[in-house]
């Protein structure tokens, strides 16, 4: 079974990411990996919830957070998830150029999100003196949100690597599962962000 040739639209299977055994294994294995990641983030959330009032005299969540910036970040990341859906839609139609385009837009939105997060962290550190070491709340905040940011950074490096590597040779049954697992990963970090938005920022302002 050879699967390294580019296939034309007439013979490309409906779900190219699951057409080979390797693809099926990757697909299932990646779902399991995300299951493990869920426990990983659950542990971080638990730690954060236990420590979120332990400010040790430093600034509290209510004083620090501004919902405007966080709202913009949420919109950027949610939109990037939507654009990655478009990209997978074009992958299923074997339209490589449009898939690359929409994944490119996904990457740009991801970078915009990351820039906002870096600005946010710098702001807290320089304006409020709120650091990783200043209180248990600070440690828990930067660890939880930073782990998410680290996942975004890794995802962007992964996506750009994929796009550059395959730019000239198009879609085939060997790289389709790779694109697809990336999109799963991207949705996952989007979902994690929704929880961060709720537990860290909304509960910090209201709760």
Partner 1 sequence: MSIAAAQKRSFGAVLWDYLTTVDHKKIAHLYLFGGGFFFLLGGLEAMIIRIQLIKPENDFVSAGFYNEVLTMHGTTMIFLAAMPLLLGLMNAAVPLQIGARDVAFPFLNSLGFWLFLFGGLMLNCSWFLGGAPDAGWTAYTPLSTTSPGHGVDYYVIGLQIAGAGTLIGGINFLVTIINMRAPGMTFMRMPLFSWTTFITSTLILFAFPALTIGLFLLMFDRMFGSAFFDVGLGGNTIIWQHLFWIFGHPEVYILVLPAFGIFSDVFSTFSKKRLFGYTAMVFATILIAFLGFMVWAHHMFTVGLGPVANSIFAIATMAIAVPTGIKIFNWLATMWGGSISINTTMLWALGFIPTFTIGGMTGVMVASVVADYQYHDTYFVVAHFHYVLVGGTVFGIMAGLHYWWPKMFGRVLNEAMGKLTFWTFFIGFHLTFFIQHFLGLMGMPRRYWVFLEDQGLDLGNLISTIGAFFMAFGVIVFLYNAIYTAVKGEQAPNDPWDGRTLEWAIASPPPHYNFKQTPLTRGLDPLWIEKREGKGEITPAEPLGDIHMPNSSFLPFMMSLGLFIAGFGFIYQVNHNWAYVLLFGGMAITLVSMMIRSLKDDHGYHIPKEELEGEAD
Q: How far is the CB of 182 from partner 1 (least distance, A)?
A: 11
Q: What H or E segment, with its residue span, contains residue 206? A: helix 203-206
**CA dihedral sign of residues 59, 60, 62, 67:** positive
Near partner 1 by CB under 8 A: residue from 111, 139, 184, 202: 139
Phi, psi of 6, deg, nearest 5 = -75, 135
Phi, psi of 172, deg, nearest 5 = -145, 180
Q: Tell whether residue 129 is a contact of partner 1 (CB under 8 A).
A: no
Judged by CB under 8 A, the chain residues 16 through 75 that form the site for partner 1 are: 21, 24-25, 28-29, 32-33, 35-37, 39-40, 43-44, 46-47, 50-51, 54-56
Near partner 1 by CB under 8 A: residue from 3, 92, 123, 205: 3
> How many residues sit in the footprint of partner 1 (CB under 8 A)?
39
Q: At what angle do helices 176-196 and 136-166 cross, to 10 degrees?
A: 160
Q: Tell whether residue 133 is a contact of partner 1 (CB under 8 A).
A: yes
Q: How far is the CB of 165 from partner 1 (least distance, A)?
A: 5
21 Cβ contact list (under 8 Å, min separation 6) = none
**Distance (Å, rounded) from C-alpha 22 to C-alpha 2?**
12
Q: Please give the residue ranges that form the binding site for partner 1 (CB under 8 A).
A: 1, 3-4, 21, 24-25, 28-29, 32-33, 35-37, 39-40, 43-44, 46-47, 50-51, 54-56, 132-140, 143, 158, 161-162, 165, 174
């Amino acid at each position: 079974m050879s699967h390294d040739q580019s296939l034309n639209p007439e013979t490309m299977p409906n779900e190219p990411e699951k057409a080979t055994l390797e693809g099926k294994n990757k697909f299932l294995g990646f779902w399991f990996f995300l299951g493990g990641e869920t426990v990983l983030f659950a542990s971080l959330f638990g730690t954060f919830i236990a420590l979120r009032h332990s400010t040790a005299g430093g600034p509290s969540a209510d004083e620090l957070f501004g919902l405007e910036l966080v709202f913009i970040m949420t919109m950027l990341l949610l939109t990037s998830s939507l654009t990655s859906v478009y990209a997978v839609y074009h992958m299923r139609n074997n339209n490589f150029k449009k898939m690359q385009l929409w994944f490119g837009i996904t990457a740009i939105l991801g970078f915009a999100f990351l820039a906002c997060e870096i600005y946010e962290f710098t702001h807290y550190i320089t304006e409020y003196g709120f650091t990783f070491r200043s209180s248990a709340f600070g440690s828990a905040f930067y660890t939880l949100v930073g782990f998410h940011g680290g996942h975004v950074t890794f995802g962007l490096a992964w996506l750009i690597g994929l796009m550059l590597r395959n730019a000239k040779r198009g879609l085939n049954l060997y790289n389709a599962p790779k694109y697809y697992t990336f999109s799963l990963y991207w949705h996952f970090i989007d979902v994690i962000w929704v929880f961060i938005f709720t537990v860290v920022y909304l509960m910090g302002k209201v709760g």
